[in-house]
């Protein structure tokens, strides 16, 4: 809309036509303001209530409007993570409970996409999260306590086997060689 108006003002091609257009636009889309506030939920473990109040410039609340709530995150660049959406009631208030994934300060945005008669708008608020959802944890591999000991047992067996082979070879060789020092003759039959 503003583009249309700026175009009209700068170019000044047809004053009447542009004024008419601007007038139609203003008449069609009333501006609205979105006030966003965050507060802890009644049950703190459930997180925070994000409450968006959508009010038209003439002071009347905008009801039956869909408000989308976003959390501003850094994930491969700044992104708006969709938390969810809610519809405004008779007072123009839309609420959503949000339990952040992590503690710490967060920036929340509520957006109203606009509809016939009401222009799009958005509101911002911050949130210092002191409760968060259960963190993602990696469970240790099953049986890891047991399987970490198995190599030692098997290693001991392997060493024992090697010792036995060594004994069979070296022991026999020693026995044969010491036996040879004694007097004696090899019998062929």
Q: Applying CB under 8 A, which residues contact another protein?
A: 71, 73-77, 79-84, 101-102, 133, 135-136, 138-139, 141-142, 147, 151, 154-155, 158, 161-162, 164-165, 167-169, 171-182, 184-189
CB 115 to another protein: min, Å: 21
Q: How near is the Cβ of 46 to another protein at its closest, in Å?
A: 15
The secondary structure of the chain, three-state, reads CHHHHHHHHHHCCCHHHHHHHHHHHHHHCECEEEEEEEEECCCHHHCEEEEEEEEECCCCECCCCEEEEEEEEECCCEEEEEEEEEECCCCCEEEEEECCCCCEEEEEEEEECCECCECCEEEEEEEEECCCCCCCCCCCCCCHHHHCCHHHHHHHHHHHHHHHHHHHHHHHHHHHHHHHHCCCCCCCC
- Output 28 or 169, the one with its CB closest to another protein: 169
d(CA 112, CA 86): 10
Q: How far is the CB of 158 from another protein (least distance, A)?
A: 6
Q: Which is nearer to another protein, 109 or 125 (CB)?
A: 109
Report the alpha-carbon distance of residue 109 to residue 114 in Å, rounded: 15
Q: What is the smallest separation between the CB atom of 183 and another protein, expressed in angstroms?
A: 9
DSSP H or E stretch at residue 18: helix 15-28
Q: How far apart, in whole angstroms, are the C-alpha atoms of residue 158 and residue 93?
A: 74
The residue (of 57 and 148) whose beta carbon lies closer to another protein is 148
CB-nearer residue toward another protein: 52 or 71: 71
Q: Which residue number, 8 or 52, has a Cβ lying nearer to another protein?
A: 52
CB of 41 to another protein, least distance (A): 17
Closest contact distance (angstroms) between CB of 160 and another protein is 10
CB-wise, 119 or 120, nearer to another protein?
A: 120
């Amino acid at each position: 809309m503003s583009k249309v108006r700026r175009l009209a003002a700068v170019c000044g091609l047809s004053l009447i036509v542009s004024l008419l257009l601007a007038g139609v636009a203003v008449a069609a889309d009333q501006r609205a303001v979105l006030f966003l506030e965050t507060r802890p939920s009644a049950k703190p473990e459930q997180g925070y209530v994000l409450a968006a109040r959508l009010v038209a410039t003439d002071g009347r609340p905008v009801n039956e409007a869909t408000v989308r709530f976003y959390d501003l995150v850094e994930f491969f660049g700044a992104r708006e993570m969709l938390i969810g959406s809610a519809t405004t009631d008779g007072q123009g208030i839309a609420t959503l409970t949000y339990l952040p994934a992590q503690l710490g300060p967060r920036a929340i945005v509520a957006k109203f996409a606009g509809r016939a008669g009401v222009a799009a708008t958005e509101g911002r608020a911050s949130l210092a999260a002191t409760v968060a959802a259960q963190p993602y944890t990696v469970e240790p591999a099953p049986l890891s306590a047991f399987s970490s000991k198995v190599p030692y047992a098997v290693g001991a067996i392997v060493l024992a086997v090697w010792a036995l082979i060594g004994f069979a070879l070296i022991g026999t060789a020693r026995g044969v060689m010491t036996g040879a020092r004694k007097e004696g003759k090899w019998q062929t039959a």
